[in-house]
Amino acid sequence: MKLLNKRNIVYTCVIFALFAGCVAAWFFIRNSEVEEAFAVIYKNSEQVQSVDLSSETSEYQISVGSAETGINIILIKDGAIGVISADCPDQICVHTGFIKNRIVPVVCLPNKLEIRIVSGDKVHGVFDAVAR
């Protein structure tokens, strides 16, 4: 069988086009920034705390979860937020590092924890709805 037939060239082109598109989309998503970034911490899909990263200057830690649901220690420092220690087996949330104003979230799947960056407008909108 000839390797470089017409069909295989089409397959190769489709796969490489998709790959290039995905790499481009990934760099676009990684670099898209949020104005007035708020970090919202979710545990078991419920909001635990929200931090105004754009105005936060102090450095402090938050412990989220219990021994049963899994504990993540979150550090807020220099307007950035990240997980510094976790009792989950894979430690992916710790290795993800700190996020500041990019929309890619920090996730810990075993402990069902997510740190999401949202823009300030959205957070105010949510609070207004609650206040009403």
Partner 1 sequence: MKNRFNIKKLLISTLFSVIALVIFVIEAQIPFPVSIYGLKPGLANIVILFVLFLGGKWKARDLFLIFLVRVLLAAFITGQTMSLIYSLTGGIAALLTMIAVKAGFKNAPAPFVSVTGAIAHNTGQLAAAAFVLQSTSVFAYFPVLIAGGIISGLLTGFVVWGLFRTYPKFISYINYI
Query: In the complex, what is the shortest distance from the CB of residue 58 to partner 1, in angstroms, rounded to a whole number?
Result: 26
| Nearest residue to 113 via CA among 128, 94, 132 | 94
Query: In the complex, what is the shortest distance from the CB of residue 41 to partner 1, in angstroms, rounded to a whole number?
Result: 12
Query: In the complex, what is the shortest distance from the CB of residue 48 to partner 1, in angstroms, rounded to a whole number?
Result: 13
- Range in contact with partner 1 (rule: CB under 8 A) among 53-61, 71-79, 87-95, 122-130: 87-95
| Site for partner 1 contains 13 (CB under 8 A) | no
Q: Which one of residues 34, 41, 42, 53 is an interface residue with partner 1 (CB under 8 A)?
A: 42
| Site for partner 1 contains 17 (CB under 8 A) | no
| Nearest residue to 114 via CA among 43, 37, 62, 39 | 43
| Site for partner 1 contains 127 (CB under 8 A) | no
Q: Which amino acid is at 50?
A: S
Q: Which one of residues 22, 33, 61, 121 is an interface residue with partner 1 (CB under 8 A)?
A: 22
**Which positions ≥6 away from 100 have C-beta within 8 Å?**
37, 53, 79, 80, 81, 117
Angstrom distances, CA of residue 57 to CA of 80, 96, 110? 10, 22, 31
